[in-house]
């Protein structure tokens, strides 16, 4: 039995679903462009540079969820999937996931983006297991806060280990373990698996992969 882990944004997607969700809300008039677009762009640049304060970002990203009913949010998300997400899914990304699914591997999308945004995307890929940053909810509605450890940098390792334990596994339970990621932020988890793969890597990850002889692939 093998384990296949996939980062989502800029790895399986040719773009960033977290960033695009805020841009979508701006586009449909839910968020004020003047107030939110500059912040959204700034946080995205910090993420790419490896300097993002995840708690500051989550406060920005999750608060809008608390201002609207889940029914309304779900309707917006269906529109978001059609307009923003499906165009970011490339054929090589689908084929990569399908190869692992057909092989019978345990497939997991593991992402810093919150599960409200990413759960429908995981379903679109046919991936049953999702480990994501969890928005806190009460009586089915979002509070605007984060629950559990954010699934970011070292937090991805923590969340994966908790998920494995809950299933009665650890990384040594698998004959092979692979993690596909584009980002320097995922180096903590890339170093944990047997087969780290730099997919559409940023400059820092590409340099690290070349130094260490990791496989580099292009899913675009």
Domain ranges of the chain: 2-217
pLDDT single digits (tens) 85-123: 999 999 999 999 999 999 999 999 999 999 999 999 999
pLDDT-derived band at 34 (thresholds 50, 70, 90) equals confident
Q: What is the pLDDT at residue 89?
A: 98
Instruction: Work out the percent of the chain whose per-residue pLDDT is above 70.
Output: 100
Q: 2-217 maps to which CATH number?
A: 3.40.50.1000
pLDDT-derived band at 188 (thresholds 50, 70, 90) equals very high
DSSP conformation letters of 142-209: EEEEEESS-SSTHHHHHHHHHHHHHTT--GGGSSEEEEEE--GGGHHHHTTSSEEEEES--HHHHHHH
As given in the structure block, the two tokens for residue 56 are: 């500051």
Which residues are annotated as catalytic? Answer: 7, 9
Residue whose pair of structure tokens reads 């596909």 in the numeric block? 180
pTM value is 0.96
What is the rounded average pLDDT of the residues 78-82?
A: 98
Residue whose pair of structure tokens reads 């909810």 in the numeric block? 137
């Amino acid at each position: 039995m093998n384990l296949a882990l996939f980062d989502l944004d800029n790895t399986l997607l040719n773009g960033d679903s977290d960033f695009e969700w805020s841009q979508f809300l701006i586009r449909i008039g839910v968020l004020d462009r003047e107030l939110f677009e500059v912040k959204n762009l700034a946080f995205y640049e910090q993420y790419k540079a490896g300097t993002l304060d995840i708690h500051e970002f989550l406060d920005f990203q999750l608060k809008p969820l608390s201002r609207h009913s889940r029914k309304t949010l779900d309707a917006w998300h269906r529109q978001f999937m059609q307009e923003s997400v499906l165009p970011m899914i490339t054929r090589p990304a689908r084929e990569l996931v399908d190869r692992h699914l057909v092989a019978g591997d345990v497939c997991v999308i593991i992402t810093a983006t919150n599960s409200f945004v990413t759960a429908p995307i995981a379903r679109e890929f046919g991936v049953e297991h999702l480990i994501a940053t969890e928005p806190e909810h009460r009586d089915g509605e979002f509070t605007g806060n984060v629950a559990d450890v954010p699934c970011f940098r070292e937090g991805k390792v923590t969340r994966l280990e908790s998920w494995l334990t809950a299933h009665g596994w650890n990384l040594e339970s698998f004959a092979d373990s692979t993690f596909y990621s584009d980002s320097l932020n995922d180096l903590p988890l890339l170093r944990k698996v047997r087969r780290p793969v730099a997919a559409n890597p940023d400059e820092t990850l590409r340099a690290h992969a070349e130094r260490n002889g990791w496989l580099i692939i292009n899913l675009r």
